[in-house]
C-alpha cells in the first residue's frame, strides 16, 4: 500500500484549468481555488463522489478528508438522504411558496436543539450568519457587533478576510477581541458599552493556518454573561461544526446556551441549505426583518435536511465521528513520531487540523499533504479537515496505510 502512487500529472485537470482562466475571473475563485494556496498535486476539478471517496476528472480516487469542505457528514450520496431528496424532487422543489417540509424541518431543529424556539432558512453559511446579525440588530435597535479576530463567518462585506472591493465603512460597526481571551473580550465590551447588538463566536477557534484551540469554558461562560448584561444576543456560528460536535449545540455540554446559532454545510449532507435557530427572546426581532432569496424555500434541501438530522440522531453521529477522528489522530501521530516527524492534530478530532513542529514556512506540511494527495488521500495543509460516518475504521486504516508512504517521502526530503 505504501508504494501506491497516482500518475504525477492530471492532463484533463490541467486542460480545464486553462479553459477556466479564459472564462472565470482569475480561474476558479474563493475557498475552492486550488492554485497557489494548495499543494500542486491537489486536483482542481472533480468528476464524482460516493461514500468517503471523490474522483478527480482524470479518474483518480481519493479518500476524501475534506468532505466538500464540511457539507458531507454521513457519506457522499447517502442512500437515506438521497431517497428523501428524490421523493421530494418527484413532487417539486422550487415552487410558488414553501412546502410543508419547511415547517417540519423547523420543528425538527427546535426539538433537537434545546434552546431553540424558532428557525429561519437560507442557502449558505453566509446567509445564516448575516441573518443572525440582522435579527440581533432588529431586536436591540443597535448597530454594533463584536467578533473575534480573524474568525471567518462568511464572505460578505462584514466578514470577508480579503477586503478588496469592501469600503472601510462596512466594518465601522464591528468591535474585535481575541478568541479565548477574557480580558480582550471585556475590553471590547467596555469600549462599545451599551451599543452592542450581538457577540458572535465559533464554538472553537478554527482559524486557517494556525493550530486550533478548543474553547475555554470560562471564556464561553464570560461571553454569555457579558452578552446578557449588555442585552445583546450571543450568536454561535456552527456553520462549520454543526452535526459534528453535539447535536444539541456545541456548548450544551459546558452549560452555555446561545440566543441564536447559525448552521449550514452539513445539515443536509451536501444539499444547499442554511438555518438560523433562535430563542423566544428574539422571535419578535426575527419576525420584523426582511430576508429572502429565490431558492431559500426549495423543498428538496429541506427534505434532505430532515433526513440528515434524523439520521444523525439515530447514529449519535458526533460520537461516531469522534471515534473515527480519534483513530485517525492516533494513527497519524504515531506514524509521524516513528518517522521522526512529529505531527500535531489539533482541534476536535471530528475536525482535525494538521501541523508540524519546526515548520514556520509550512514547507513540511505542504510537502506532506502533497505526497498524501498523490497517494490518494485528500489532506489539507492549513484548513481543518472533516470526518464523516462513511470514514469507517477500514477506510481510516486504508488512509493511514497510504499516508505512511507520505511520511517516508517527507523524511527523504530532509526539510
Ligand atoms: C464558521 C463559518 N461561518 C460561516 C461560513 C460561511 O459559510 P458559506 O461559505 O456557506 O457561506 C463558513 C464557511 O466556511 C464557516 O466556516
Distance 77 CA to ligand 1 centre (A): 22
Residue from 33, 66, 73, 126 whose mutation best tests the ligand 1 pocket (most atoms within 8 A of CB): 126
- Which residues are near ligand 1 (CB < 6 Å)? 124-126, 129, 152-154, 202, 237, 239-240, 264
Final residue in a domain of this structure, among 266, 288, 315: 315
- Tell me the CATH number at 404: 3.90.1150.10
Task: Return the ligand 1 atom nearest residue 265 CA.
Answer: 10
Domain-located, residue 284:
yes
Tens of pLDDT along 112-155?
999 999 999 999 999 999 999 999 999 999 999 999 999 999 99
User: Omega into 150 within 30° of 0, i.e. cis?
Assistant: yes
Residue-by-residue DSSP string for 14-41:
HHHHHHHHHHSTTSS-GGG--TTTS-TT
Tens of pLDDT along 318-333?
999 999 999 999 999 9
| Residue 211 shares a structural domain with residue 333 | no
pLDDT of 156 > 70? The answer is yes
Task: Return the ligand 1 atom nearest residue 70 CA.
Answer: 14
| Residue 91 shares a structural domain with residue 60 | no
Q: In Å, how far are 226, 271, 347, 409 from 66, measured between CA atoms?
A: 35, 16, 15, 22
| Distance in angstroms (rounded) separating the CA atoms of residues 393 and 415 | 32
Residue from 205, 265, 272, 275 whose mutation best tests the ligand 1 pocket (most atoms within 8 A of CB): 265
Domain-located, residue 162:
yes
Distance 351 CA to ligand 1 centre (A): 14
| Residue 103 shares a structural domain with residue 33 | no
DSSP type of residue 267: G
Residue nearest atom 14 in ligand 1 by C-alpha distance: 240
Residue 166: its H or E element: none
Domain that holds residue 124: 79-315
| Residue 266 shares a structural domain with residue 380 | no
| The pLDDT value given to residue 158 | 87
| Residue 285 shares a structural domain with residue 154 | yes
| The pLDDT value given to residue 3 | 64
| Residue 192 shares a structural domain with residue 296 | yes
Final residue in a domain of this structure, among 315, 335, 366: 315
Distance 345 CA to ligand 1 centre (A): 22
Q: Mean pLDDT, the chain, as a whole number?
A: 96
Q: Which three cell numbers stand for residue 260?
A: 441564536
Residue nearest atom 16 in ligand 1 by C-alpha distance: 240
Residue-by-residue DSSP string for 283-306:
HHHHHH-----TTTT-HHHHHHHH
| The pLDDT value given to residue 8 | 87
Domain-located, residue 6:
no
Residue-by-residue DSSP string for 74-87:
S-BT-HHHHHHHHH
Domain count, the chain: 2
Q: Which three cell numbers stand for residue 320?
A: 461516531
Task: Return the ligand 1 atom nearest residue 274 CA.
Answer: 10
- Region 245-271: mean pLDDT is 98
Domain-located, residue 209:
yes
Q: Which three cell numbers stand for residue 59?
A: 479518474
Distance 154 CA to ligand 1 centre (A): 5
3, with CB counted inside 10 A (0-12, 13-18, 19+), is: exposed
Distance 396 CA to ligand 1 centre (A): 26
Domain-located, residue 1:
no
Distance 196 CA to ligand 1 centre (A): 23
Residue nearest atom 3 in ligand 1 by C-alpha distance: 153
Name the residue among 382, 349, 340 with its Cα closest to residue 365.
Answer: 382
Task: Return the ligand 1 atom nearest residue 241 CA.
Answer: 1
- Tell me the CATH number at 197: 3.40.640.10
| Residue 308 shares a structural domain with residue 322 | no
| Residue 304 shares a structural domain with residue 335 | no
- Residue 282 phi, psi dihedral angles, 5° rounding: -110, 5
- Residue 279 phi, psi dihedral angles, 5° rounding: -95, 165
- Region 4-8: mean pLDDT is 88
Final residue in a domain of this structure, among 280, 315, 350: 315
Domain-located, residue 2:
no
| Residue 94 shares a structural domain with residue 147 | yes
| Residue 187 shares a structural domain with residue 310 | yes
Domain-located, residue 380:
yes
What percentage of the chain reaches a pLDDT higher than 70?
A: 99
| Residue 131 shares a structural domain with residue 248 | yes
- Region 59-82: mean pLDDT is 98
Distance 307 CA to ligand 1 centre (A): 22
Q: Give the strands of the sheet with 233-237, arranged side by side.
A: 118-122, 274-278, 260-263, 233-237, 196-201, 144-149, 174-178
Distance 386 CA to ligand 1 centre (A): 14
pLDDT of 2 > 80? The answer is no
| The pLDDT value given to residue 349 | 98
CA geometry: angle 348, 244, 203, nearest 5 deg: 60
Confidence of residue 267 (pLDDT cuts 50, 70, 90): very high
| Residue 86 shares a structural domain with residue 58 | no
Distance 90 CA to ligand 1 centre (A): 30
Amino acid at each position: 500500500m505504501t508504494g501506491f502512487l497516482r500518475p504525477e500529472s492530471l492532463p484533463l485537470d490541467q486542460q480545464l484549468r486553462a479553459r477556466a482562466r479564459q472564462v472565470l475571473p482569475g480561474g476558479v475563485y474563493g475557498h475552492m481555488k486550488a492554485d497557489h494556496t494548495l499543494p500542486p498535486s491537489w486536483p482542481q476539478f472533480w468528476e464524482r463522489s460516493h461514500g468517503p471517496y471523490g474522483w478527480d476528472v482524470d479518474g483518480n480516487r481519493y479518500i476524501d478528508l475534506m468532505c466538500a469542505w464540511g457539507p458531507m457528514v454521513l457519506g457522499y450520496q447517502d442512500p437515506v438522504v438521497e431517497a428523501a431528496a428524490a421523493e421530494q424532487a418527484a413532487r417539486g422543489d422550487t415552487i410558488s411558496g414553501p412546502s410543508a417540509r419547511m415547517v417540519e424541518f423547523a420543528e425538527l431543529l427546535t426539538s433537537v436543539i434545546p434552546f431553540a424556539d424558532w428557525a429561519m432558512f437560507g442557502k449558505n453559511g453566509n446567509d445564516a450568519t448575516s441573518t443572525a446579525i440582522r435579527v440581533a440588530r432588529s431586536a436591540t435597535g443597535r448597530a454594533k457587533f463584536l467578533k473575534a479576530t480573524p474568525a471567518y463567518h462568511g464572505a460578505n462585506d462584514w466578514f470577508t478576510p480579503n477586503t478588496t472591493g469592501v469600503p472601510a465603512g462596512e466594518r465601522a460597526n464591528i468591535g474585535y477581541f481575541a478568541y479565548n481571551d477574557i480580558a480582550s473580550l471585556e475590553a471590547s465590551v467596555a469600549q462599545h458599552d451599551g451599543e452592542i447588538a450581538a457577540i458572535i463566536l465559533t464554538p472553537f477557534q478554527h482559524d486557517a493556518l494556525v493550530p486550533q484551540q478548543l474553547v475555554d469554558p470560562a471564556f464561553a461562560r464570560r461571553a454569555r454573561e457579558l452578552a446578557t448584561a449588555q442585552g445583546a444576543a450571543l450568536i454561535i456560528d456552527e456553520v462549520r461544526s454543526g452535526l459534528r460536535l453535539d447535536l444539541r449545540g456545541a456548548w450544551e455540554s459546558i452549560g452555555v446556551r446561545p440566543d441564536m446559532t447559525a448552521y449550514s454545510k452539513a445539515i443536509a449532507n451536501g444539499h444547499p441549505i442554511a438555518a438560523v435557530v433562535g430563542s423566544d427572546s428574539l422571535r419578535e426581532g426575527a419576525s420584523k426583518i426582511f430576508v429572502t432569496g429565490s431558492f431559500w424555500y426549495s423543498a428538496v434541501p429541506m427534505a434532505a435536511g430532515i433526513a440528515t438530522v434524523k439520521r444523525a440522531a439515530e447514529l449519535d453521529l458526533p460520537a461516531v465521528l469522534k471515534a473515527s477522528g480519534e483513530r485517525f489522530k492516533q494513527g497519524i501521530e504515531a506514524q509521524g513520531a516513528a518517522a521522526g516527524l512529529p505531527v500535531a492534530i489539533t482541534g476536535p478530532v471530528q475536525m482535525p487540523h494538521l501541523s508540524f513542529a519546526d515548520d514556520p514556512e509550512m514547507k513540511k506540511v505542504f510537502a506532506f499533504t502533497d505526497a498524501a494527495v498523490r497517494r490518494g488521500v485528500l489532506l489539507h495543509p492549513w484548513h481543518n479537515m472533516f470526518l464523516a460516518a462513511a470514514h469507517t475504521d477500514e477506510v481510516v486504516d486504508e488512509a493511514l496505510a497510504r499516508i505512511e508512504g507520505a511520511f517516508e517521502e517527507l523524511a527523504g526530503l530532509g526539510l
